[in-house]
Amino acid sequence: MSHAAVSITPGVEYFPGFLDRAAQEALRDDVLAILEAAPPFHPRMPRTGKPFSVRMSNCGSLGWVSDERGYRYQATHPETGRPWPAIPSRLVAAFAAIAPDAPPPEACLINLYDSAARMGLHQDRDENELAAPVVSFSLGDTALFRVGGLQRNAPTRSFRLASGDAMSLAGESRLAFHGVDRVIAGSSTLLPQGGRINLTLRRVTKASG
C-alpha cells in the first residue's frame, strides 16, 4: 500500500495508487464473493421511487439502503432479508491505514457502475458518528469524481478516481457534497465485465469509550 496523500481541499484527501494491482485483484475477488451472498439491488429515491443508475450492495454490520421509505442503515439485505457479509479484513486494514484514529467502520457500501451510471451531488449524512471520516476505494474503470463544499451550490472541483485509488472526506469536509459525473468505459482491465466498483466505508454509530 502507498500512503502518499494529495490534499484536494482541507479534509478532502486523495490517495492515488493506494492499492497495487495484486491488492486490487484480491479485493475484487473478495467483493465478487460478497455479491454472491448479498446480490446487487436497485436502490430507489425516497418518495418518488425513481431508481438510481447505480446498483448497490453492502458488507458490514450495517448497510445503507434507499427506497420509498427513505435513506437508512439496516442490518439486513432489503431483498434476501439476510445479514450483510462481513467487511473483508484487508478492507478494514486499509481503512485503518487511512484513518488510524477512527473507530472501526461498520458499513461498507458497494456501488456498482456500468458505463451509463452516475451519482448526483449528495452528502453522506445518515451516520450518527460524524467525527469519523468517510473512506472510499475504487476498482475498475476510472470515474470523474466531483467534490464541493457544505452547500450544494458551493464551487466544486473534480478529479479522477482510478482503480486502486482511495480518498477520504474528513474534518471540515466530512459533509462535503460529492458525486460521480461519469465513468470512463474500458479504462481498466480489473473487472471481467468492465464497469466500476466503489467501496465506501463509514462509521455509523457513536463509538463508546
Binding site for ligand SIN (CB under 6 A): 109, 111, 119, 136, 143, 145, 161, 178, 180, 198, 200
Cβ closest to ligand SIN, residue 151 vs residue 208:
151
Q: Which residues contact 116 (CB under 8 A, 6 or more apart)?
A: 53
Residue 209 C-beta: closest distance to ligand SIN, Å: 29
Helix boundaries (H) for the chain:
21-37, 89-98
Binding partner of residue 191 among ligand SIN, Fe ion, none, CB cut-off 5 to 8 Å per kind: none
* Cell digits of residue 42: 436497485
* Cell digits of residue 61: 454490520
Residue 43 C-beta: closest distance to ligand SIN, Å: 10
Instruction: Examine residue 127 and tell whether it contacts Fe ion (CB under 5 A).
Output: no
Neighbour tally for 91: CB within 10 Å: 22
Single out the residue of 132, 137, 82, 78 nearest to residue 108, CA to CA: 137
Instruction: Examine residue 141 and tell whether it contacts Fe ion (CB under 5 A).
Output: no
Residue 75 C-beta: closest distance to Fe ion, Å: 20
Q: Are 39 and 80 in contact (CB under 8 A)?
A: yes
Cβ closest to ligand SIN, residue 111 vs residue 173:
111
- What residue ranges bind Fe ion (CB under 5 A)? 124
